[in-house]
Amino acid sequence: MTTTATTELAPTETRQPRASHFLLAVLALAMGGFAIGTTEFVTMGLLPEIADGVGASIPSTGHVISAYALGVVVGAPVLAFFGAKWPRRGLLVALMLAYAVFNAASALATDYHLLFAARFLDGLPHGAYFGVASLVAASLAPPERKGRAVALVMLGLSVANVVGVPAATWMGQHLGWRSAFWGVAALSLLTVALVLAFVPACPGDPEATGRRELKAFSTPQVWLTLLAGAVGFGGMFAVYTYISPTLTGVGGLSESSIPVALFVFGLGMVAGTWVAGELADWSIFRSLLIGSVGMGAVLLLFWFAAPHGWWSLPVVFLITVLGSVLVVNLQLRLMDVAGEAQTLGAAMNHASLNVANALGAWLGGLVIAGGYGYRAPALVGVALSVGGLVVILASAALHSRDSRS
């Protein structure tokens, strides 16, 4: 197994594009991640207001969150299939224009069914945007800094949880829930302007075909990487989904502490994304091992810390740090093992992570419903982390076997 990111990453362009202002180009790409992260999570904070606005119950309105996740899972392979030949800057612009339109549609929805459809459509560009933006960022960076470049793109998603989601939630509470989606539509248009201004022309692959992109699914390493994300990252969501009742019902904290906990959660994502970039340029595969083992350990620590109130918050911070290490390095790993199917491989990471979201939340809910209490999802998370680690080790074993043959 190689130990440097330079040899782990396949080249993303035959001719490397050059940006006159590299940092501005990457920050333009990160702005798209900021818009996506804001709209992905703001629905959770405005669920009562949205339910009242479309005349539906809160549990039913919660399904619009699932609709968005389903859109991510469907959109990643479909858009990568049809967009592989497109010039990458043009594809990024098209994806963010679609994001602006679908967020506007969410704001204009007059009933539950229209909102459900709008949120599904809004999820479609999510995975493809992050995949293509990661490929572009990697192509702009020198070989030894590709990991940091991809991490900077992902940083937009992390910062959204610290700034974008609280700001959009506040705006939705005071100006009406529709204003939050109008705000994200505006951010999407801002991203379009920044990408056109600072991201250089990035040619697509004229030889790419949908059939060639689909060959990624015939590669065992692609499936193993997707499975590692879907299982291993599910541990974080098993805890995050039920963080509010855990801290209040188990830890004895007041409801006013929950925004603080969510802020700590977001800070962990920001710190973890930076750490992930540093680790990735050292070794992608070893970073995945560190993230998987560390995630299992801190989830177990959370099980012990949960009854101790404020003492559990540093553990929440560590959970998201290690989760971010997994996210960034799974993205880079897919870009590596997908071979010629770069667009599809890069886009599928967020589809895998949305499966992790659903799996972790579902299994966590099962143990709570079974009467094991709100600490139990942490142990579910430990089991999922161990499962993800097993998959990563299987990937390493297969790589070693193929290298010898």
Where is average pLDDT lowest: 148-162, 333-347, 381-395?
Answer: 333-347
Q: What is the pLDDT of residue 17?
A: 59
In this predicted structure, what is the pLDDT of residue 18? 59
Q: pTM for the whole thing?
A: 0.75
8 A C-beta contact, residue 55 and residue 232: no
Please tell me what DSSP assigns to residue 163. I
Chain segment 217-228, per-residue pLDDT in tens: 777 888 999 999
Confidence of residue 3 (pLDDT cuts 50, 70, 90): very low
Q: Mean pLDDT, the chain, as a whole number? A: 84
pLDDT range class, residue 298, cuts 50, 70, 90: very high
Confidence of residue 352 (pLDDT cuts 50, 70, 90): confident
Assigned CATH for 212-405: 1.20.1250.20
What sections of 145-256 are H helices per DSSP?
146-159, 165-175, 177-198, 210-214, 220-232, 234-240, 243-245
pLDDT above 90 for 300: yes
Please check the confidence at residue 79 and state whether its pLDDT lies above 60.
yes
Q: Which of these, 345, 367, 365, lies nearest to 357 by C-alpha position? A: 365
What average pLDDT does the segment 368-393 reach? 91
Residue 30 pLDDT: 93
- The band of 173, judged by pLDDT with boundaries at 50, 70 and 90, is confident
pLDDT at 9 over 60: no
Name the DSSP class of 199.
S
* C-alpha to C-alpha distances, 292 to 86, 101, 234, 295, nearest whole angstrom: 35, 37, 11, 5
**To 10 degrees, the CA torsion angle through 235, 240, 245, 250?**
50
Average pLDDT over residues 146-158: 83
Cβ-proximal residues to 167 (8 Å cutoff; 6+ apart), any chain: 38
104 sits in which H/E element = helix 88-108
Domain definitions of the chain by residue range:
18-208, 212-405
CATH superfamily, domain 18-208, is MFS general substrate transporter like domains (1.20.1250.20)
207 pLDDT tier (thresholds 50, 70, 90): low
Local confidence band at 70 (pLDDT 50, 70, 90 cut-offs): confident
Domains 18-208 and 212-405 share a fold: yes
Q: Where is pLDDT greater, at 326 or 61? A: 326
What is the average per-residue pLDDT within 376-403?
Answer: 89
Confidence (pLDDT) at 336: 80
Of 116, 119, 122, 121, nearest to 55 by C-alpha is 116
